[in-house]
Amino acid sequence: MMATYIATVNRLLSEKVAQIPEVVIYGENINTGSHLVGMTRNFKLERGGRILNVGNCEATHCGVGFGLMMGGATAVLFVKQLDFMLLGMDHFVNTYNFIRAHRERDTLGSFTIVVIVCNQGYQGPQSSFNALGDLCSLARVPGFMVTNQRDAESVIPREIGKPGFRFIALDQRLFPKEILSPDGVRAAEDSSVFQYSSGEDATIVCFNFSFPQGWTLQEKLAERGIKASLFSVNPVLSQDWDGIKESVLKTRRLVVLDDSKSINLLAYTLLHEVTRQIPSIQTVMLTRGLEVEFGVCSDQLQINYESVVQQLETGMAVARG
Amino acid sequence: MSAELTSQDQQMALEMLRVRYWQHIVNEDLKKKKFTVPIHCAIGHEALAVAVSRMMEPEDQLVLTHRNMAYNLARAGGLAQIYAEYQLSPSGPGKGRLGSMNLVCDSKGVAYSSSVLGNNIAVACGMALAKQVKSRPGLVIVFSGDGAMEEGSFYEGLVFSRTQRLGLLILVENNNMSMSSTISERRCGINMDKLCGSVGIPFHTFRGNDLFEYAPTLKQIRRSILEQQTPVCVEAHLGSINQHAGPTPGWPTDPKNISLERGLIVEQSDRDPLFVLKQRLGEPSFENLSSQVLSEPWGG
Q: Give B115-173 pLDDT, tens digit per residue.
A: 999 999 999 999 999 999 999 999 999 999 999 999 999 999 999 999 999 999 999 99
Of the candidates B98, B157, B164, which has its C-beta nearest A102's C-beta?
Answer: B98
Q: Which pLDDT score is estimated for A259? A: 95
The burial class, CB within 10 Å (0-12 / 13-18 / 19+), for B222 is: buried
Is there a contact between A71 and B126 if contact means CB atoms under 8 Å apart?
A: yes
The more confidently predicted of residues B231 and B5 is B231
Tell me the β-bridge partners of A24.
Answer: A50, A75
Q: Do B125 and A73 touch (CB under 8 A)?
A: no
Is A301 a residue whose pLDDT tops 90?
yes
Interface test with B, best of A50, A56, A60, A92 (most B CBs within 10 A): A60
Assigned superfamily of B7-294: Thiamin diphosphate (ThDP)-binding fold, Pyr/PP domains (3.40.50.970)
Say whether B98 and A68 touch across the interface (CB within 8 A): no
Q: Show Cβ contacts of residue A78 under 8 Å, excluding neighbours closer than 6 positions.
A: A25, A26, A27, A30, A36, A39, A40, A114, A115
Instruction: Kindly give the pairing relationship between strand B168-174 and strand B140-145.
Output: parallel
B3, pLDDT greater than 80: no
Kindly state the average pLDDT of the residues A109-114.
98
Q: What is the mean pLDDT of residues B45-51?
A: 98
For the question of an ipTM over 0.85, the answer is yes
- B94/A101 Cβ within 8 A: yes
Contact B156 A60 (CB under 8 A): yes
A-interface mutation test, from B125, B133, B140, most A Cβ less than 10 A away: B133
Max mean pLDDT range (A44-58, A177-191, B200-214): B200-214
Give the residue-averaged pLDDT of A294-314. 94
pLDDT at position A46: 79
Q: What's the pTM value of the predicted model, to 2 decimals? A: 0.95
- The mean pLDDT of A11-34, rounded to a whole number, is 96
Please indicate whether, in this complex, the C-beta atoms of B160 and A102 are within 8 angstroms of each other. Answer: no
CATH topology of domain A186-320: Rossmann fold (3.40.50)
> Hey, where are the domains in chain A?
5-174, 186-320
Rg, Å, chain A Cα set: 20
Quote the pLDDT of residue B160. Answer: 98
pLDDT band with cut points at 50, 70 and 90 for residue A285 = very high
The stretch A303-311 carries a mean pLDDT of 97
Alpha helices in chain B (DSSP H): 7-31, 46-55, 69-76, 80-86, 119-133, 152-163, 183-186, 192-198, 211-228, 273-281, 283-294
Our CA-based measurement puts residue B117 at a distance from the nearest CA of chain A, in whole angstroms, of: 10
Fold of the domain built from segment(s) A5-174: Rossmann fold (3.40.50)
Q: Tell me whether residues B157 and A60 touch, CB distance under 8 A.
A: yes
Distances (CA, A) of B100 to B40, B112, B119, B243: 8, 12, 17, 16
pLDDT at A240 over 70: yes
How far is B253 from B113, CA to CA, in rounded Å?
Answer: 32
Which residues of chain B lie closer than 8 angstroms to A45, CB-CB? none
pLDDT band for position A251 (cuts 50, 70, 90) = very high
For residue A170, give Cα distances in angstroms to A5, A111, A152, A209, B183: 9, 17, 9, 9, 45
Average pLDDT, integer, range A1-11: 93
Predicted local confidence at residue B1, as pLDDT: 57
When the pLDDT of each residue in chain A is averaged and rounded to a whole number, the result is 94
Do A55 and B129 lie within an 8 Å CB cutoff? no
Give the orientation angle of helix A211-223 with respect to helix A305-320, to 10 degrees. 50
What pLDDT is attached to residue A123?
87
Mean of pLDDT values over A282-299: 90
Q: CA B270, CA B41: separation in Å to the nearest integer? A: 18
Give the pLDDT confidence of B222-281 residue by residue, as tens digits: 999 999 999 999 999 999 899 999 999 999 999 999 999 999 999 999 999 999 999 999
Q: Is the pLDDT of residue A180 over 70?
A: yes
CA distances (Å), origin B150, targets A62, B39, B105, B119, B147: 19, 23, 27, 12, 6
- Chain B residues whose CB is inside 8 A of the A55 CB are 156, 159-160, 163
Q: Is the pLDDT of residue B2 over 70?
A: no
- pLDDT on residue B190: 94
Most B CBs within 10 Å: which of A87, A98, A107, as the mutation test of the B interface?
A98
Task: Collect all residues of chain B within an 8 Å Cβ-Cβ radius of residue A64.
Answer: 122-123, 125-126, 129, 160
pLDDT at B180 over 90: no
Average pLDDT over residues A144-165: 96
Query: Averaging pLDDT over each range in A260-269, B178-187, B195-204, which range is the top one?
Result: B195-204
Determine the average pLDDT of the residues in A161-182: 96
